[in-house]
Amino acid sequence: MNIVVCVKQVPETAEADLKLASDKKGIEREGLPLQINESDNYALEQALLLTEEHDGDVTIVTLGPDSSDEVLRMSMAKGAAEAARIGDDAFDRSDAVAVAGALAAVLKDMEYDLVLAGCMSSDDGHTQVGVALAEALGIPHATYVVEMEMSDGEITVGRELEGGLIEKLQMKLPCVLGIQTGINEPRYASIMGIAKASKREIAMKSAGDLGLDAEGVGEKGSKTRVVEVAYPPVGDGAEILGGTPPEASGKLAEVLREKGFV
């Protein structure tokens, strides 16, 4: 079984003092630590588990700058056989559909039984790339996958719905699956694996290599564009409604009437 895993390098922002970029179309990434997107890490682990059980190889693909090689090498240190990076300034400001188109252009020359990706990225959170990739490849898809069972030429997945419900789907291979966090326990790379991966070759792809017109990728080739990112406006703060429950309820009803909500 040959599996392709699409991954992304994202900034770690949990404890960072974020600043807006000068063009106000994103955050300033200078100085922020970079890491593999969380759900992509689970997708990688799931691919490794499947190939260990059913034999085969894992190929890692990403679209990003030179720093993304670190994510690819760490993935190979864990057990991925090959890695490819789409690295071209022409892809800057690509939206989810444009990214999916670039990934599809790489995958069209590969032999694969399954394509995995994280269900969403922690920086954009659009949950669109996997779905758009499946559409571009013309194969079935499911996302928020938390369960998976293989059979001859088919796969049964459980996808997480609201309220803790699990939807069961049976799909033919190949297909694209968006993996949810918690489906497994991602492994750590060994010191020996890291040392070997540091010497491994990463296949580089440009827009020209993929047969893509520079005018059809990046911001020009995107269906959506970021106009401006801004901090939330500072309001007057919360109002604490005191008194007994009936008194507080009456005050709340009055506020809602004043604001035009009822």
Q: Is 204 helix (H, G, I), strand (E, B) or coil?
A: strand
Locus of tokens 């991954």? 7
171 token code pair: 């799909």
**What confidence category does residue 100 fall into, taking pLDDT thresholds of 50, 70 and 90?**
very high
**What confidence category does residue 176 fall into, taking pLDDT thresholds of 50, 70 and 90?**
very high
Q: What is the pTM of this model?
A: 0.86
Q: Looking at the chain, which runs of residues are DSSP E strands?
A: 3-6, 9-11, 34-36, 58-63, 82-86, 114-118, 141-151, 154-160, 166-172, 176-179, 203-205
For residue 191, CA distances in Å to 158, 188, 194 come to 35, 10, 5
pLDDT for position 210: 93
CA 121 – CA 123 distance, rounded (Å): 6
pLDDT digits (tens, 9 = 90+) for 40-79: 999 999 999 999 999 999 999 999 999 999 999 999 999 9
Mean pLDDT of the chain, nearest integer: 93
Class of 3-216 in CATH: alpha beta
pLDDT higher than threshold 90 for residue 199: yes
